[in-house]
Amino acid sequence: MNMEMRKLGRSGLEVSAIGLGCMGMSANLGPAPDRGEMIALLRAAFERGVRFFDTAEVYGPYVNEELVGEALAPVRDQVIIATKFGFTNGPNAVPLSDGLVRWGDLDSRPEHIRQAVDGSLKRLGVEVIDLLYQHRVDPLVPIEEVAGTVQDLILHGKVKYFGLSEAGADTIRRAHSVQPVSALQSEYSLWWRQPEQDVLPVLEELGIGFVPFSPLGRGFLTGKIDADTKFHSTDFRSSLPRFTPEARQANQALVDLLADMAAKKQATTAQVALAWLLAQKPWIVPIPGTTRLPRLEENLGALQVQLTPEDLQEIEKTAATITVQGARYPEAYAKLGGR
């Protein structure tokens, strides 16, 4: 298919207008699927025009990078692979040499970043990481130090572009003043719109691209999940306040809104959810994840859905009457990472 390409801000980094989030191919959404099938799916995504693939050291941990690296090895020079550093992957409390104890599982100390990058290069089987994100802001390490370390890795040819994930406006500005930030990755969709308040204006001002993860509300906005859906014990959605049966029932109104528009557009609910995101800014590139080819093809079909200014206004008007129920993360997890 003819894939639309988008530039992530003013960095010069060009990617397919829809990327592929690869986390669920190894972890966090129930039992890991068959590895061979996932390699086939990654290659099918490439054949259908996807040129932007998202993984992380912590997915698995480690095995997702190996999977993505192996699958994309034959087309390495034609794709952009993003990965992330910033978690210890170890026990919750890791004492530092200065006697401090790490907060949560975070670790963005310069020596750990360098170690993580060397590991990622090896697992991905690449000579350079296209886009390297700090997975979460580490409150114990100044962001200027993190940006400076990545700048050094760029100068040494190990990394091309620097990104942040779930960072707030002030952190983005501070990092960008040391090493230009090419992309911010954060959750954004019709059911999580907080980035609109303070982050999107800063990205626009500084020329930074935006990569929404969970653009389909972790599957909820597809219309395939309702109050009666049962999640596997290894599916992390089973622990999210927004996914309690009561919250799902209350939030169904948002899915109904998308379904109404989908009927008008002869599209699916998921396609309208993605088309809405794509219509917000030309430098927004969502990365829906999937483990199934029909879902991949459905998601890419969102590029054919044109929402007019009137359609967007109608969605906005109805969405304003809906209050989404349930916190995004449990309290303990919500505290993990600064802004």
pLDDT tens-digit profile of 75-132? 999 999 999 999 986 544 444 454 444 445 899 999 999 999 999 999 999 999 999 9
Query: What single DSSP character describes residue 67?
Result: H
Assign domain 5-224+270-305 to its CATH architecture: Alpha-Beta Barrel (3.20)
Q: How far apart are CA 48 and CA 67, in angstroms?
A: 19
Q: How far apart are CA 229 and CA 251, in angstroms?
A: 14
User: What confidence tier does 19 reach under pLDDT thresholds 50, 70, 90?
Assistant: very high
User: Is a pLDDT exceeding 50 seen at residue 208?
Assistant: yes
Q: How far apart are CA 82 and CA 91, in angstroms?
A: 26
pTM of the model: 0.94
pLDDT higher at 169 or 61: 169
CA distances from 311 to 224, 252, 254 (A): 23, 20, 15
User: Is a pLDDT exceeding 60 seen at residue 330?
Assistant: yes
Q: How far apart are CA 278 and CA 262, in angstroms?
A: 15
User: What confidence tier does 335 reach under pLDDT thresholds 50, 70, 90?
Assistant: low
Mean pLDDT, to the nearest integer, of 285-298? 98
Whether 133 is catalytic is: no
Query: Long-range contacts for 174-181 (Cβ within 8 Å, ≥24 apart)?
Result: 174/143, 174/144, 174/147, 175/143, 175/144, 175/146, 175/147, 176/147, 176/206, 176/208, 177/144, 178/144, 178/147, 178/148, 178/151, 179/147, 179/148, 179/150, 179/151, 179/154, 180/11, 181/147, 181/206, 181/208
Peptide bond into 61 cis (omega under 30): yes
Domain ranges of the chain: 5-224+270-305
User: Is a pLDDT exceeding 50 seen at residue 2?
Assistant: yes
Query: What single DSSP character describes residue 9?
Result: B
Mean pLDDT, to the nearest integer, of 191-208? 97
Residue of 258, 265, 255 whose CA lies nearest to 307: 265
| Dihedral sign (CA 103, 234, 132, 152) | positive
Task: Kindly name the residue from 59, 133, 161, 188 that is annotated as catalytic.
Answer: 59
